[in-house]
Structure 1
Amino acid sequence: MKEFTIVGGGIAGASIAYHLAKKGHSVTVFDRFDQGQATFASAGIICPWTSQRRNKKWYRLVQEGARYYPAFINELERTTNQPTGYKQNGAICLFKDDRIQQLAYERISAKQADSPEMGSVTKMSKEDVKAMHPFLTDYYPAVFVEGGGQIDGESLLTSLKKGVLAHGGKWLTDDVDPSDCEGTVIYTAGAWAREFHDQPAVRHQRAELLHFQLDKDANSADTPVVMGLGPMYIVGTGADNSFAIGTTHEKTEAFSVTPSQENKAYLHHEAERYFPDVAIDDHHVSVGLRPFTRDSLPFIGYNDDNIYVVNGLGSTGLTAGPVIGREVADFLSGEDTSLDLADYGYYE
């Protein structure tokens, strides 16, 4: 049994702690619960196969993350008897016109051979879209990806914390200097990492999500994730026709989590674009500070102070976080990993 101290209780730190504790190691998590933690302000979409990013190292990571999700959630919920909010109702990917829809269908379908977990991929007419998601606009054609899903970040973190404790780990809310910690130190401080270390270089973006409710009678609990045009996406957040739409991307050096009225108005306007025939009642805006490292590729490895760092998960933290926990726990336990973690241990 080894001793591990994890500084930072977001999705990366919590998942690593859970997988290490499950192996019987001594695990202590220090989580000061910073406001703006990215995991709490994420839509939690698990559908990496639709991305147009060409970074193969990044894609291998999120592909393995999506593959791991069903088994991971099943085990975690059985261990903790705690729901995570995981749903796999598919993803509707909207496109501007039929030509772009066809190109996207060919691009996404080509990934099926290496990712059978993505399920079927089908083209949807505007009428098909309306039939599957009655509230949604029928202005755009779409591609449906059967394996797409979503996870509630807050519920997942609650379940992971409970799992750490169930396996004998400790979870403390104290602030701590990583250099003062015992055993192998794993630093997963997200946007706040620069407080103690300059490498790897971490920057962050403010991302805002508008939560709202539609004035409709039908139940929206089982509607698929919607990948809108550009960076916009929509997820259902409850059985009472509640949704969230996002996101904004604001590069910043600040750590303010006060919602912007300008961004709220922008997101409300986008919501009206996708739900043109129904009244929209704004509820609140959630703000997260998403950490990014070089090339928007997560960093996983030792820094110059021999502290093990995991950071830079960015907008796909909830997709990659669980499998990073598994892989890092295997690596630090001296076991074989499915991914080559050397791909992520770079420096500027």
Structure 2
Amino acid sequence: MSTFTVIGGGIAGASIAYHLAKTGNTVTVFDRSDNGQATSASAGIICPWVSQRRNKKWYRLVQEGARYYPDFIQELEETTKQSTGYIRSGAICLFKDDRIQQLAYERISAKQEASPEMGEVRKLTKAEVKEMHPHLTTAYPAVFVEGGGQISGDSLLSALKEGIRLHGGKWIQQDVKPEDGEGTVIYTAGAWASECYQLPLVRHQRAELLHLKLENEYHKNETPVVMGLGPMYIVGTDTKQFAIGTTHEDTTDFTVAPSEENQQYLHNEATRYFPETNIQDQFMAVGLRPFTRDSLPYIGWTKDHVFAVNGLGSSGLTAAPVIGREVAAYLTDKETVLNLDDYAYF
């Protein structure tokens, strides 16, 4: 067995460490717990099949990520006896008119044969939308994707930490430089990675979500994810409330104070989707999300012989568990399902 040091305790680093530890390797995770970690401010939507991105390498990654999720979560929850907040209650995808709804239905349905885990895909009537999501507007045509779901980033991270511990790994809350790590060093520092490495094309942005409460407290336990117009989405939370997001602001700093302007923008968007009830803002969540121009994460060696994973962007919670499985296999000379050379574009 081998020795590994993981620097950065977001979902990617934690998943890699978990998969390495459970196969008997010596693993230590170092994490500074910086404010603004993307994991804590993510909606956690698992529904990659509806994306219109044309990057095939990216799609292979998130497709395999969604396929892996049910088995991964079952194993992790059975091992740790902790809930991850994983729910597969489907996704309601909204479109601005009937023509676009039909085109989207055809595009999404065409992926079913290669991704049976996405389940049924069908167009919804207004009555069906109201039945699934009583507060949601019926102003927009909708498509339902049965396999869509969501995960609580904080709960998943907590379970991974416990899984690492149960498999003999260590989690240390302190800073460490890559050159000081023992064995093979895996650098998963997210937005803060530039402190040590300038990975190609990887930058970061501020993403903000508004957590809100509806005056009418009726809220089904497993409300489907809502994929709104443009970049908007709405998810139920474990507090029986909702979160709507997200904003995207390219930045070079690490400020995580919420923006009043963005809060007002997201509140106005919420009134668009929940037009028949009063909305009470609860709080804003702010995360610093590493991303690349073409949405393709970097997974590979750096010139200093450190293995880096970064730039997962908005699909981080979809892709990170399977990245953990694949990187652990790759670094221990086992067969991988994905070709990791596709993501090592130095």
Alpha-carbon distance between aligned partners in 1 of 2:55 and 2:310, rounded to the nearest angstrom: 17
Alpha-carbon distance between aligned partners in 1 of 2:118 and 2:165, rounded to the nearest angstrom: 33
Aligned to 2:325: 326
Aligned to 1:296: 295
Alpha-carbon distance between aligned partners in 2 of 1:46 and 1:200, rounded to the nearest angstrom: 27
Aligned to 1:203: 203
CA RMSD between the two structures:
0.9
User: What secondary structure is seen at the aligned counterpart in 2 of 1:245?
Assistant: strand
Please, which moves more after superposition, 215-224 or 31-40? 215-224
Check conservation: 1:193, 1:202, Cα contact below 8 A.
no
Aligned to 2:249: 250
Alpha-carbon distance between aligned partners in 1 of 2:29 and 2:171, rounded to the nearest angstrom: 5
Aligned to 2:307: 308
Alpha-carbon distance between aligned partners in 2 of 1:192 and 1:61, rounded to the nearest angstrom: 23
TM-score when scaled to structure 1? Answer: 0.98
Alpha-carbon distance between aligned partners in 1 of 2:308 and 2:168, rounded to the nearest angstrom: 23
Alpha-carbon distance between aligned partners in 2 of 1:195 and 1:167, rounded to the nearest angstrom: 30
User: What secondary structure is seen at the aligned counterpart in 1 of 2:328?
Assistant: helix
Alpha-carbon distance between aligned partners in 2 of 1:219 and 1:239, rounded to the nearest angstrom: 10
Aligned to 1:54: 54
Superposition map of 1:117-156 within 5 A: 117-156=117-156
Cα offset for 1:130? 1.5
Superposition map of 1:231-246 within 5 A: 231-238=231-238, 240=240, 242-246=241-245
Aligned to 1:13: 13
Alpha-carbon distance between aligned partners in 2 of 1:129 and 1:239, rounded to the nearest angstrom: 22
Check conservation: 1:129, 1:141, Cα contact below 8 A.
no
Check conservation: 1:12, 1:317, Cα contact below 8 A.
yes
Cα offset for 1:206? 0.4
Go from structure 1 to structure 2 and tell me whether the alpha carbon gap of 1:294 and 1:302 turns closer, same or farther (over 3 Å shift). Answer: farther
Check conservation: 1:91, 1:225, Cα contact below 8 A.
yes
Letter in 1 for 2:27: V
Deviations 1:242-299 (A, max 9, x none): 0000000000111000000000000000001000000111100000011013522000
User: What secondary structure is seen at the aligned counterpart in 2 of 1:92?
Assistant: strand
Go from structure 1 to structure 2 and tell me whether the alpha carbon gap of 1:176 and 1:92 turns closer, same or farther (over 3 Å shift). Answer: same
Alpha-carbon distance between aligned partners in 2 of 1:201 and 1:312, rounded to the nearest angstrom: 8
Alpha-carbon distance between aligned partners in 1 of 2:127 and 2:100, rounded to the nearest angstrom: 17
Alpha-carbon distance between aligned partners in 1 of 2:108 and 2:299, rounded to the nearest angstrom: 28
Alpha-carbon distance between aligned partners in 2 of 1:247 and 1:176, rounded to the nearest angstrom: 32
Aligned to 2:78: 78
Aligned to 1:31: 31
Alpha-carbon distance between aligned partners in 2 of 1:259 and 1:281, rounded to the nearest angstrom: 17
Check conservation: 1:120, 1:147, Cα contact below 8 A.
yes
User: What secondary structure is seen at the aligned counterpart in 1 of 2:285?
Assistant: strand
Alpha-carbon distance between aligned partners in 1 of 2:16 and 2:337, rounded to the nearest angstrom: 15
Unmatched 5+ stretches in structure 2: none
Cα offset for 1:201? 4.1
Alpha-carbon distance between aligned partners in 1 of 2:110 and 2:294, rounded to the nearest angstrom: 25
Alpha-carbon distance between aligned partners in 1 of 2:239 and 2:259, rounded to the nearest angstrom: 27
Q: Does 1:225 align with 2:210?
A: no
Alpha-carbon distance between aligned partners in 2 of 1:53 and 1:201, rounded to the nearest angstrom: 18
User: What secondary structure is seen at the aligned counterpart in 1 of 2:67?
Assistant: helix
Alpha-carbon distance between aligned partners in 2 of 1:224 and 1:295, rounded to the nearest angstrom: 28
Letter in 2 for 1:338: V
User: What secondary structure is seen at the aligned counterpart in 2 of 1:16?
Assistant: helix
Alpha-carbon distance between aligned partners in 2 of 1:238 and 1:73, rounded to the nearest angstrom: 17
Identity %: 70
Q: Does 1:275 align with 2:274?
A: yes
Alpha-carbon distance between aligned partners in 2 of 1:272 and 1:238, rounded to the nearest angstrom: 21
User: What secondary structure is seen at the aligned counterpart in 2 of 1:197?
Assistant: coil
> Which stretches of structure 1, 4 residues or longer, exceed 4 Å deviation after superposition?
none
Aligned to 2:343: 344
Cα offset for 1:333? 0.9
Aligned to 2:65: 65
